[in-house]
């Protein structure tokens, strides 16, 4: 056997660079890195030597650069991914939140935090967590519950099995998620005689599992037995590349489609069978169809609470059929499962259904919804003095958007409003991280999206709260010359949680900046802040000013930031569905007692 002598870190990087997707692209498109003693000498040296085959990117925070990596994979429908390396200790645990984000959203990312010395010689090293009773514990154990595959590399040759396993998980549609290879510092630098064949190019094809014949027959029967089925399209439709198949299926069988946050843009917004967004942040049209449906047919959805109205919308007595590649998702709440790739599953179902058709929904439902949505997004009249609403901001961004625009967001007021109001055109034009809804995903995520699809206009919608939590990859976007447009809606605090607090009977407390413990009122100059990192930044004093700024953004060469003050209170009243947020059973506040009563009534409704 021909062998090659390399360090474990050099071998890992060489192996990673040789793994391809079915389009012949390297599956891992690059590695984000922040070095410390846990990875600079080992992985750092290997990355430098391999810089022509695997590009290294330097972010400003391990969590946010992992967000960029994850957004990259999400935008490309999991066809490619990125890797991230950190030092040990704080650098590593900074990535744990991002690992959880990838885990919840079923997105691939390869994490390679450094780990303590396997030989334990210098223990305890700087940043080493010491467990008094367990010698095998390190800070990286925090990754275990948020990794689909976790391993600690304590000998070089473990990579011979660990790396193929890592790629199997990241490219497996059912198991897909973050992989953590915690890489002991001394092991990274240790040499080993590797079989040369280990570094041969390898193609990882997207597996498309076919359904079990009995499950397929039962699913066909379930649909045939329904008179008013509805399709709930989730993120799995995008990941399976099944948008066109879904459209053909819906059209042939006249079944209305509603979209989850991850599923939105599966069908164009103006398609007659797209009844709109479903659930807590859904449209009146979609939720009305779901309430009346006798079969809820989920395709590639996790059925999270925002989709199901905390299961008040899809009550148990309603029949649920779930087409999902992952049995865990396909059997939730006693759903009848059809375990298969969404594209394959829909095609086989359609063949089995033949010319069978459901009753098409009345067009009025959709028309009424868009009348309500358009009313809140249209520009205010010029003599209106009130602060603009987030809905009006969405209207302005929508009017400035082009066919290739991707709007993205993760947390705050905007996800719900965008779900309701954004008119998504083609698949991939709406990128919402609403599985973990992680504040701070936005700017870094926007960077990752633009790296994935450089020809698209990327518009990042971010609240002042999320911006303050994590913004420093804006400087990375500036230095990398990556152009993204960032719209900061400054409502002076955590507007959505303030409203949730009021909705559950609470006093306005600790959310808006003016309601926090303070001596000096907050005056954050977001324009100056963004400009200090090199972004082209300006303030829009009105919706008209925002429209002007968005037109200017077109000509910008790098990141363009526009800040607009918005009213923290109004949201779109139309549409929506109940959300289970537990209200205190006893309280001195009358408002809480009233909210509790309403909550208990709602709980009764759900059963
Ligand atoms: C990391 C993280 N911490 C806390 C939350 C809970 N949370 C959701 S939205 C939000 C406030 C967002 O404020 P901002 O970005 O200003 O948006 P706004 O609601 O004001 O529009 C909070 C605290 C979260 N989603 N993520
Ligand atoms: Mg805010």
Ligand positioned closest to the Cα atom of 437: 1
Distance 411 CA to ligand 1 centre (A): 5
Site to substitute for ligand 1 among 94, 432, 439, 515, most atoms within 8 A of C-beta: 439
Q: How many CB atoms lie within 10 A of CB 17?
A: 18
Ramachandran angles phi, psi of 4, nearest 5°: -135, 135
- Residue 361's pLDDT is 83
**Could you tell me the strand order of the sheet in which 229-233 lies?**
274-277, 257-259, 229-233, 295-299, 319-324, 336-339
Distance 465 CA to ligand 2 centre (A): 5
Q: What is the mean pLDDT of residues 425-440?
A: 97
Q: What is the mean pLDDT of residues 455-472?
A: 98
Residue 605 banded pLDDT, cuts 50, 70, 90 = confident
Q: How many CB atoms lie within 10 A of CB 475?
A: 18
Give the predicted TM-score (pTM) of the model: 0.98
Distance 95 CA to ligand 2 centre (A): 25
Query: Is the bond into 423 cis (omega within 30 degrees of 0)?
Result: no
- Residue 34's pLDDT is 98
d(CA 138, CA 140): 5
Q: What is the mean pLDDT of residues 242-251?
A: 98
d(CA 178, CA 276): 31
d(CA 41, CA 56): 15
Nearest CA to ligand 1 atom 20: 495
- Residue 599's pLDDT is 98
- Residue 359's pLDDT is 87
Determine whether 227 is exposed, middle or buried from the number of CB atoms within 10 Å of its CB (0-12, 13-18, 19+): exposed
- Residue 557's pLDDT is 93
pLDDT at 385 over 80: no
Q: What is the mean pLDDT of residues 579-589?
A: 98
> Mean of the per-residue pLDDT values for the chain?
97
Residue range 45-60, pLDDT digits in tens: 999 999 999 999 999 9
pLDDT at 298 over 70: yes
Position in ligand 1 atom list of the atom nearest CA 462: 15
Residue 506 banded pLDDT, cuts 50, 70, 90 = very high
Ligand positioned closest to the Cα atom of 495: 1
Distance 174 CA to ligand 2 centre (A): 36
- Residue 316's pLDDT is 64
List C-alpha distances in Å: 310 to 130, 429, 565, 577: 41, 27, 32, 9
User: β-strand 191-195 against 3-7: which pairing, if any?
Assistant: antiparallel
Nearest CA to ligand 1 atom 5: 439
pLDDT at 545 over 70: yes
The pLDDT > 90 percentage for the chain reads 97
Residue 384 banded pLDDT, cuts 50, 70, 90 = confident
Position in ligand 1 atom list of the atom nearest CA 495: 20
Ligand positioned closest to the Cα atom of 461: 1
- Residue 362's pLDDT is 84
Distance 276 CA to ligand 2 centre (A): 26
pLDDT at 347 over 70: yes
Q: What is the mean pLDDT of residues 362-387?
A: 90
Ligand 1: residues with CB < 6 A are 411-413, 437-440, 463-466, 489, 491, 494-497
Rg value, the chain, Cα: 25
Instruction: Point out the least confidently predicted range of 185-189, 357-361, 418-422, 461-465.
Output: 357-361
Higher pLDDT pick, 606 / 525: 525
Residue range 130-180, pLDDT digits in tens: 999 999 999 999 999 999 999 999 999 999 999 999 999 999 999 999 999
- Residue 267's pLDDT is 98
Residue range 308-318, pLDDT digits in tens: 999 999 876 68
């Amino acid at each position: 056997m021909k062998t090659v002598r390399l360090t474990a870190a050099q071998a890992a990087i060489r192996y990673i660079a040789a793994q391809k997707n079915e389009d012949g692209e390297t599956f891992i498109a690059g590695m984000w890195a922040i070095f410390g003693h846990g990875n600079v000498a080992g992985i750092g040296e290997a990355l430098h030597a391999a810089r022509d085959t695997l590009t290294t990117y330097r972010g400003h925070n391990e969590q946010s650069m992992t967000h960029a990596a994850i957004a990259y994979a999400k935008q490309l429908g999991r066809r490619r991914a990125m890797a991230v390396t950190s030092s040990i200790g704080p650098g590593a645990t900074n990535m744990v939140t991002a690992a959880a984000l990838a885990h919840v959203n079923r997105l691939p990312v390869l994490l390679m935090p450094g780990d303590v010395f396997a030989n334990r010689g210098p223990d305890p090293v700087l940043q080493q967590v010491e467990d008094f009773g367990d010698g095998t514990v390190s800070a990286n154990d925090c990754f275990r519950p948020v990794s689909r595959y976790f391993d600690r590399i304590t000998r070089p040759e473990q990579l011979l099995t660990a790396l193929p396993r890592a790629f199997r998980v990241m490219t497996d549609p059912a198991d897909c998620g973050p992989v953590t290879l915690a890489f002991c510092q001394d092991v990274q630098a240790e040499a080993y005689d590797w079989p040369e064949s280990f570094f041969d190019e390898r193609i990882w094809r997207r597996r498309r599992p076919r359904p079990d014949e009995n499950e397929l027959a039962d699913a066909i029967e379930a649909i045939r037995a329904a008179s008013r089925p509805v399709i709930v399209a989730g993120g799995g439709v995008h990941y399976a590349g099944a948008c066109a198949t879904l459209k053909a299926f819906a059209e042939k069988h006249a079944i209305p489609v509603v979209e989850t946050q991850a599923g939105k843009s599966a069908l164009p917004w103006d398609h007659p069978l797209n009844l709109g967004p479903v659930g807590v942040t859904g449209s009146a049209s979609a939720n009305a169809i779901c309430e009346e449906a006798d079969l809820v047919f989920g395709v590639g959805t996790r059925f999270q609470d925002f989709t199901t109205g905390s299961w008040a919308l899809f009550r148990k007595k309603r029949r649920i059929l779930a087409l999902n590649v992952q049995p865990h998702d396909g059997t939730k709440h006693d759903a009848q499962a059809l375990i298969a790739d969404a594209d394959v599953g829909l095609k086989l179902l359609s063949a089995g259904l033949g010319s069978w058709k459901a009753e098409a929904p009345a067009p009025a439902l959709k028309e009424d919804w868009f009348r309500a949505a358009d009313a809140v997004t249209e520009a205010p009249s010029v003599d209106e003095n009130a602060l603009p609403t987030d809905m009006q901001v969405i209207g302005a961004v929508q009017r400035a958007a082009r066919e290739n625009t991707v709007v993205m967001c993760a947390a705050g007021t905007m996800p719900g409003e965008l779900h309701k109001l954004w008119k998504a055109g083609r698949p991939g034009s709406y990128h919402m991280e609403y599985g973990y809804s992680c504040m701070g995903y936005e700017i870094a995520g926007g960077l990752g999206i633009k790296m994935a699809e450089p020809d698209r206009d990327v518009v990042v919608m971010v609240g002042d709260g999320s911006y303050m939590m994590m913004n420093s990859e804006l400087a990375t976007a500036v230095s990398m010359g990556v152009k993204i447009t960032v719209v900061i809606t400054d409502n002076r605090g955590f507007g959505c949680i303030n409203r949730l607090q009021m909705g559950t009977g609470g006093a306005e407390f600790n959310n808006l900046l003016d309601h926090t413990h303070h001596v000096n009122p907050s005056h954050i100059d977001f324009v100056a802040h963004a400009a200090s990192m090199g972004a082209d930044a300006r303030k829009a004093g009105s919706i008209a000013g925002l429209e002007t700024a968005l037109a200017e953004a077109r000509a910008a060469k790098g990141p363009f930031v526009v800040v607009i003050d918005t009213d923290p209170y109004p949201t779109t009243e139309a549409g929506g569905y109940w959300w289970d947020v537990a209200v205190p059973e006893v309280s001195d506040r009358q408002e809480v007692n009233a909210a509790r009563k309403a909550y208990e009534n709602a709980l009764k409704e759900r059963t």
